[in-house]
Amino acid sequence: MSFTLRGLSLASGLASARMVGGDREIKSVTADSRAVTSGALWVAMPSARRDTHEFLPDVASAGASAVVVREESALARAQELGLDSILVTSTGREWHQDLAKLIAPVCGNPGRELELYAVTGTNGKTSTAIFLAQMMGCQYMGTLGYGSPDALSTLENTTPFPVELQNLLGGMARGGARTVAMEVSSHALEEARVAGLGFDVSVLTHLSQDHLDYHGTMEAYAAAKKRLFTEWADVARGLGKQPRFALNISDPYGAAWLADVPDAITYGTADAHVEVHASEMRVDSMVLDVRTPSGSFRVRPGVGGVFHRENFASAIAARVAGGATNADLEQELARVTPVRGRFEPVPNDLGLDIIVDYAHTPDALTQLLRSVRALLPQRIIAVFGCGGDRDRTKRPKMAAAVASDADLAVVTSDNPRTEDPHAILQDVVGGIPTGFPHEVVADRPEAIARAVALAQPGDIVVIAGKGHEDYQIIGHTKYPMDDRDLVRAGLEARR
């Protein structure tokens, strides 16, 4: 199919926007000036760091056919450079909505053509979405990257911005994908990064304190999440879909939202549509007794950690909402394997139990450590820290969570970003009760080595906070660092 800027503007409802030219063929769309090829539509995305209109000469030289700009002066400059151009003056979430309407046809309208499972919540998004992708044998997009669950490419954001998001989903569809299980963050919903996407099934895991540095209050945070079940349900209907929902009604927000989403499949309580019980807990497996509206069955997936019971329940409820039978679920759950950085054991021949996990909120730490306690260790040694430039109020709460459920803490740096690591550590230590055994080791490699050195057979060492991440952010720079590698170095030092 052939596209022009004029045709795209008419189809998107932006026909009244100021335009120069508009009849050159458009073959692709990008927001990266370095990725412009002949016939591309380039989008000058807003940026807090620089005026992206500075790249107009570069994209013209690279062979772009057309550009989307945000300022009158940029429209004039594009005309001087011989580029077709359209001026889109909306801002914030409206900008993302206008942009998605404009570019979606070039990307193949993936929000309409793909079956999309959306997972939102504070904790459990990643595991639930990966479980769904493994169960359905489909594509994944989220914190761990995008693509097939066993061969992921990296992403900068859990939920990308519209140009990248539409391109990635369009590429998946062109590659033969029919279904994508994706994490949808509160930022993406508040900012409408997912504009133009019709979610077929949406699931809420649960809500607890996170991202208050961005949203300000829990009420605003929850309101952003709720958009998935209200605003984006309307988007799906507008694309000809019949959206379905799964809500965790053991969570107060999920229970309250049921009034607005009365046809949702529920889980999390004894009287819900879906109920899941876990037993025979091991580091690498558990037995699940599952009840759905169709009956009951028992299965042993190859994943440990009692907190994963709720993630399995989320995934099962989503699949029930999507039309899966119990026979489907039994087969699908047998395909699930451990998620990178989520209750991930680090194998070794020293007889030490060491687990790497992404838990980075007070509630996630509590759930993680209680899952470890269920394995009946002699001691739990917890290594944790808090990220810089993020919600400071959760720092002492995370320390209190560790003090409540671990036996010894090693407090260290996470991703300090632009904050002083020692100042972050002071905030954290303020939440540790007097007399609780702890050490403060600012250097993360040294802290992990210290925890490994302290461990004895029968103990479980928990390395929390970074999970799958293979970097540490200091300032604005990502430096290579992988907790699994640091554990292995600590193990080698014990020999």
pLDDT per residue over 30-75, tens digit each? 999 999 999 999 999 999 889 999 999 999 999 999 999 999 999 9
Secondary structure, 3-state, the chain? CCEEHHHHHHHHCCCCCCEECCCCEECEEECCHHHCCCCEEEECCCCCCCCHHHHHHHHHHCCCCEEEECCHHHHHHHHHCCCEEEECCCCHHHHHHHHHHHHCCCCCCHHHHCEEEEEECCCCHHHHHHHHHHHHCCEEEECCEEEECCEEECCCCCCCCHHHHHHHHHHHHHCCCCEEEEECCHHHHHHCCCCCCCCCEEEECCCCCCCHHHHCCHHHHHHHHHHHHCHHHHHHHHCCCCCEEEEECCCHHHHHHCCCCCCCEEECCCCCCEEEEEECCCCCCCEEEEEECCEEEEECCCCCCCCHHHHHHHHHHHHHHCCCCHHHHHHHHCCCCCCCCCCEECCCCCCCEEEEECCCCHHHHHHHHHHHHCCCCCCEEEEECCCCCCCCCHHHHHHHHHHHHCCEEEECCCCCECCCHHHHHHHHHCCCCCCCCEEECCCHHHHHHHHHHHCCECEEEEEECCCCCCEEEECCEEEECCHHHHHHHHHHHCC
| pLDDT beyond 90 at 166 | yes
Please name every residue paired with 426 in a beta bridge, in sequence order, or none if there are none: none
| pLDDT beyond 80 at 187 | yes
Q: What is the pLDDT of residue 105?
A: 97
| pLDDT beyond 90 at 173 | yes
Average pLDDT over residues 376-394: 95
- Higher-confidence residue of 310 and 306: namely 310
| pLDDT beyond 80 at 205 | yes
The residue extents of the domains of the chain are: 3-90, 110-333, 344-493
* Model pLDDT for residues 113-139, shown as the tens digit of each residue: 999 999 999 888 999 999 999 999 999
Instruction: Report pTM.
Output: 0.84
Phi/psi at 410 (5° precision): -115, 110
Q: Kindly indicate the confidence band of residue 211, based on its pLDDT and cuts at 50, 70 and 90.
A: low
* Model pLDDT for residues 277-306, shown as the tens digit of each residue: 999 988 788 999 999 999 999 999 999 888
CATH code assigned to 344-493: 3.90.190.20
CATH code assigned to 110-333: 3.40.1190.10
Burial 342-380 (b: 16+ CB within 10 A, else e): bbbebebeeebbbbbbbbbbbbbbbbbbebbeebebebb
CATH superfamily of 3-90: MurE/MurF, N-terminal domain (3.40.1390.10)
Q: Kindly indicate the confidence band of residue 202, based on its pLDDT and cuts at 50, 70 and 90.
A: very high
Q: What is the pLDDT of residue 212?
A: 67
* Model pLDDT for residues 137-165, shown as the tens digit of each residue: 999 999 999 999 999 999 988 899 999 99
Please state, rounded to an integer, the average pLDDT across all residues of the chain.
Answer: 95
Q: Kindly indicate the confidence band of residue 232, based on its pLDDT and cuts at 50, 70 and 90.
A: very high
Q: Kindly indicate the confidence band of residue 339, based on its pLDDT and cuts at 50, 70 and 90.
A: confident
| pLDDT beyond 90 at 398 | yes
